[in-house]
Structure 1
Amino acid sequence: MSDSNNTALPPAALWKRIFAIIYDSLIYMALAMAYSALVLFIQVQISGEPAAGERASMGTIGFIGLVLFLSSFCSFCWRQKGGQTLGMKAWRLALVNEDGKRPSWGQCYLRCFLAPVMLAAAGIGYLYALIDKDSRCLHDIISKTYMLQLPKSK
């Protein structure tokens, strides 16, 4: 991490990051179901036809909207909620930029789009944290962010 930042917090361990992702995935699934229900409801209202079986599809635009919705949720948490999603809060993790401050919107969205790609590529982007001196995943390096371990509350 840059010497210019004021924080002396250690980097987050990969296993804690993975558990935070698992925790957060439950929230993302709930948000995705709510979003999908809303999109399908709007489609039914516009078309006047019931959405059932295989016809119950959000389509490409609905899927793109879902990705943007979930990315916006994560970015909001990282920008406005102390650099933490709920899963990160449970594991005492926080996301910061290279200066130890909250990441920019661009950094947040870049992380959101890169992280699933890094996971889909056989997890290589995440496994990189095992050899990086600051325990950074590839999406951390590309977005110029750090995942830090916060101290226990007293």
Structure 2
Amino acid sequence: MQLILKRLMACVYELLILLALWMLLTWLFVSAFGDATHGLKHLLLQALLWLMTGLYFVVCWVKTGQTLAMQAWKMKVVGSDGQLLTLQQASVRYLLASLLTMAFGVGLLYMLFNQKRLFLHDRILHTQFVLLNK
């Protein structure tokens, strides 16, 4: 239960960080290209926000295994060998997590019913969260 609670709290923290980044990027996009509430501009903005979010996660996972929220909650994502993720592993993890989350959150809900408390994308990719004792 402790791992689930820590992950939930880290998600809340992560969301606050991402909201700030999304607002900044949206402001820059709208300042440069105007209204983006519909049409091609709207789709471009959504794609840009998704890519920027992915860049944030992938860079953090590859460099240290931790995002800012994961550092605060003393968690790390690693491969099954305990090593940091490669660029390819981290990129596929973000893509798969995105797809499984859009599928009614099935990738996240899987954790509630999995004995090891793995997200579905972690089970598929043989990655895992570890708690740090620092």
TM-score scaled to structure 2, two decimals? 0.84
Partner of 1:147: 129
Partner of 1:14: 4
- Paired residues of 1:39 and 1:58 also in contact (CA < 8 A): no
Cα distance between partner residues in 2 of 1:26 and 1:134:
27
Cα distance between partner residues in 1 of 2:67 and 2:43:
27
Partner of 2:29: 39
Distance 1:18 1:120, change over 3 A: farther
Per-residue deviation, 1:137: 0.9
Report which of the two has the higher share of helix. Answer: 2
Identity score, percent: 31
**RMSD of Structure 2 on Structure 1 (CA):** 2.4
Residue 89 in structure 1 maps to residue 71 in structure 2:
yes
Measured against aligned partners, the alpha-carbon deviations of 1:81-107 in whole angstroms (never above 9, x if no partner) come to x21111111111100011111112222
- The range that moved more, 29-38 or 12-21, is 12-21
Residue 129 in structure 1 maps to residue 119 in structure 2:
no
Matching residue's letter, 2:92: L
Unaligned runs of 5+ in 2: none
Per-residue deviation, 1:125: 2.0
Per-residue deviation, 1:122: 4.1
2:83 to 83, 101, 106: 101
Partner of 1:62: 45
Per-residue deviation, 1:138: 0.1
Per-residue deviation, 1:29: 0.7
Paired residue secondary structure (1:135): coil
Corresponding residue pairs, total = 133
Unaligned runs of 5+ in 1: 1-11, 45-50
- Paired residues of 1:74 and 1:112 also in contact (CA < 8 A): yes
Matching residue's letter, 1:136: L
Matching residue's letter, 1:99: D
Pair member with larger Rg:
1
